[in-house]
């Protein structure tokens, strides 16, 4: 039989096998997404999703972040997006004031939901890679501060890893009112109704 054929034949049992090693008539993997009588069980679906997630992580591990700049207001305001595969990206705005001082604000910081959390996005360092690329771009253009609205401890921990805990300054969201707390104190906060959630504007010096 041609080794390139997708289907092989088991003469002993008289049945055809698919590329997954199952009988064609009963392979649940082959029938995913098809309107057939064989449906995935919950455990089958979770296994397929896990395998796909592992493939995504491997792809991201070998991918270089792409960086795209655009001009909003000439000489005054610019946007940058840092991209990795599978909906993992970071968008930020660079502002230049009248004195020529440059600051950057993180607008969107996203890792695909399936790649977040322990043994997923954390272990792959996706957030850290995105933020490290952003900080590198910021320093190229002599940006002095990097800020953003932080609503999760995991995002804050990423900021601390990349920029340094000692560089973090906390403010009440939407105001210029300084909150005299350390990184450790903020991470120790506990809201039983929203575990892992915080609500601060955070500015790091670069």
Number of Cα atoms under 13 Å in the Cβ half of residue 166: 0
Nearest CA to 90 out of 123, 124, 137, 143 is that of 137
Average pLDDT over residues 50-78: 93
Residue 26 scores a pLDDT above 60: no
Residue 143 scores a pLDDT above 80: yes
- Model pTM above 0.75: no
Question: Which range has highest mean pLDDT (18-22, 40-44, 128-132)?
Answer: 128-132
CATH assignment, 66-205: 3.40.630.30
Mean pLDDT of the chain: 82
Q: State the pLDDT at residue 35.
A: 45
Segments making up each domain of the chain, as ranges: 8-61, 66-205
Residue 123 scores a pLDDT above 60: no
Choice between 56 and 99, residue whose per-residue pLDDT is larger: 99
Q: Where does the pLDDT of residue 51 fall: very low under 50, low under 70, confident under 90, or very high at 90 and above?
A: confident
Which tokens is 145 given? 């501060």
Q: State the pLDDT at residue 174.
A: 95
Q: Which residues contact 96 (CB under 8 A, 6 or more apart)?
A: 75, 76, 77, 102
């Amino acid at each position: 039989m041609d080794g390139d054929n997708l289907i092989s034949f088991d003469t002993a049992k008289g049945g055809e096998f698919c590329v997954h090693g199952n009988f064609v008539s009963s392979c649940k993997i082959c029938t995913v997404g098809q309107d057939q009588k064989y449906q995935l069980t919950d455990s089958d679906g979770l296994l397929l999703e896990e395998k796909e997630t592992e493939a995504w992580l491997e792809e991201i591990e070998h991918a270089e972040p792409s960086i795209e700049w655009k001009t909003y207001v000439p000489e005054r305001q610019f946007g940058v997006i840092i991209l990795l595969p599978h909906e993992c990206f970071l968008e930020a705005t660079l502002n230049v004031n009248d004195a020529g001082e440059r600051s950057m604000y993180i607008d969107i910081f996203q890792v695909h939901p399936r790649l977040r959390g322990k043994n997923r996005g954390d272990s792959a360092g996706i957030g850290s890679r995105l933020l490290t690329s952003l900080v590198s771009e910021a320093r190229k253009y002599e940006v002095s501060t990097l800020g953003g609205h932080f609503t999760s401890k995991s995002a804050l921990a990423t900021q601390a890893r990349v920029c340094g805990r000692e560089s973090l300054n906390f403010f009440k969201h939407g105001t210029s009112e300084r909150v005299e707390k350390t990184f450790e104190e903020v991470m120790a906060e506990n809201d039983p109704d929203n575990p892992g959630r915080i609500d601060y504007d955070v500015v790091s010096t670069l």
